[in-house]
């Protein structure tokens, strides 16, 4: 009987509470994507330094200490990546590129599993926001793929000599299915639009801040600022913000779990 009550009230959440959760989850979702990339680099001993949305990289003008970076290029444009050594094979390069989108898809699926198997209302709500946030951001990315040069899928297509659509279409469809299944958990279109709009707003707020912060992170890593040395592959401030996001999500779940249990007890 209690489980039925929980299932029926998953959609009941205030705008501000949902917005806060969406902002925190967007940081986690972005970190899951970037951690997929970073993990392969670390396993191969490349010692990457990651920002919020990409590996620390510089284009056009050389870094202050080029010997501490790996030179690369894109469409004829010279660049430098913050790695200790270059990748040595096409297989390693392909794995490091593919790991990001696959990690993101894993996060979206994990959110659906949490919604189905979570025992508390706040945990289910977290899973729902996780899937909606990751899936929507990924889906709009794939919908723009025809007008964009660059990105993980484009790099993979260039690596193997195939059309980007062979990767963009199936991945886009996979995230669309995840988004559809998440929205199915909500009872009507009013709630679907409320949740989707709130999650989009929260994702846009933290997403734009992370993109802007990356330029500062790159500049400080290039300058050799000791406070920006890597921790588990992330520049320290990026690592710290990701940890804060995890703590914030844990606190959100605990607080809302208590509120819901108090409501059931009345």
Instruction: Please say whether the beta carbons of 252 and 24 come within 8 A.
Output: yes
d(CA 66, CA 84): 11
Q: Is pLDDT above 80 for 261? A: no
Q: Is pLDDT above 60 for 2? A: no
Question: Which contacts of 250-258 are long-range, i.e. CB under 8 A and separated by 24 or more positions?
Answer: 252/17, 252/20, 252/21, 252/24, 252/122, 252/126, 253/120, 253/122, 253/123, 253/126, 254/122, 255/122, 256/17, 256/121, 256/122, 256/125, 257/120, 257/121, 257/122, 257/123
Between 1-5, 72-76, 239-243, the lowest mean confidence (pLDDT) is in: 1-5
Instruction: Please say whether the beta carbons of 69 and 63 come within 8 A.
Output: yes
Q: Which H/E stretch holds residue 231?
A: strand 230-231
- pTM to 2 decimal places: 0.89
Helices 15-43 and 121-143 pack at an angle, to 10 degrees, of 70
Dump pLDDT digits (tens) for 72-95.
Answer: 888 778 899 999 999 999 999 999
Q: Is pLDDT above 70 for 4? A: no
d(CA 122, CA 115): 10
pLDDT of residue 266: 40
Dump pLDDT digits (tens) for 121-153.
Answer: 999 999 999 999 999 999 999 988 777 777 899
Place of tokens 């009987």: 1
pLDDT of residue 260: 46
Dump pLDDT digits (tens) for 12-38.
Answer: 899 999 999 999 999 999 999 999 999
SS3 assignment, position 9 = coil
pLDDT mean over 181-206: 95
pLDDT of residue 81: 96
d(CA 239, CA 6): 34
Between 8-12, 94-98, 165-169, 198-202, the lowest mean confidence (pLDDT) is in: 8-12
Question: How does the average pLDDT of the chain come out, rounded?
Answer: 90
Count CB atoms within 10 A of the CB of residue 15. Answer: 11
Count CB atoms within 10 A of the CB of residue 131. Answer: 29
Q: Is pLDDT above 60 for 259? A: no
Q: Is pLDDT above 60 for 67? A: yes
d(CA 240, CA 46): 22
Count CB atoms within 10 A of the CB of residue 264. Answer: 11
Burial 191-205 (b: 16+ CB within 10 A, else e): bbebbbebbbebbee
């Amino acid at each position: 009987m209690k489980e039925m009550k929980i299932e029926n009230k998953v959609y009941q959440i205030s705008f501000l509470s949902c917005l806060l959760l969406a902002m925190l989850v967007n940081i986690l979702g972005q970190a899951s994507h970037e951690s997929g990339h970073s993990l392969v680099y670390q396993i191969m001993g490349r010692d990457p330094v990651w920002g919020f949305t990409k590996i620390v990289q510089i284009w056009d003008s050389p870094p202050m200490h080029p010997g501490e970076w790996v030179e690369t290029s894109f469409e004829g444009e010279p660049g430098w990546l913050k790695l200790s050594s270059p990748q040595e094979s096409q297989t390693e390069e392909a794995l490091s590129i593919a790991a990001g989108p696959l990690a993101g898809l894993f996060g979206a699926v994990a959110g659906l599993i949490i919604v189905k198997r979570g025992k508390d209302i706040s945990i289910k709500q977290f899973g729902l926001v996780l899937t909606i946030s990751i899936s929507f951001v990924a889906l709009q990315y794939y919908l723009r793929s025809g007008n964009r040069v660059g990105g993980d899928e484009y790099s993979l297509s260039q690596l193997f000599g195939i059309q980007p659509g062979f990767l963009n279409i199936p991945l886009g469809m996979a995230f669309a299915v995840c988004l559809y299944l998440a929205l199915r958990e909500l009872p009507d279109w009013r709630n679907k639009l409320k949740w989707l709009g709130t999650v989009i707003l929260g994702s846009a707020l933290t997403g734009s801040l992370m993109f802007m912060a990356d330029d500062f992170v790159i500049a400080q890593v290039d300058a050799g600022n000791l406070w920006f040395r890597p921790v588990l592959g992330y520049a320290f401030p990026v690592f710290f913000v990701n940890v804060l996001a995890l703590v914030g999500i844990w606190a959100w779940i605990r607080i809302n779990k208590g509120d819901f249990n108090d409501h059931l007890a009345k």
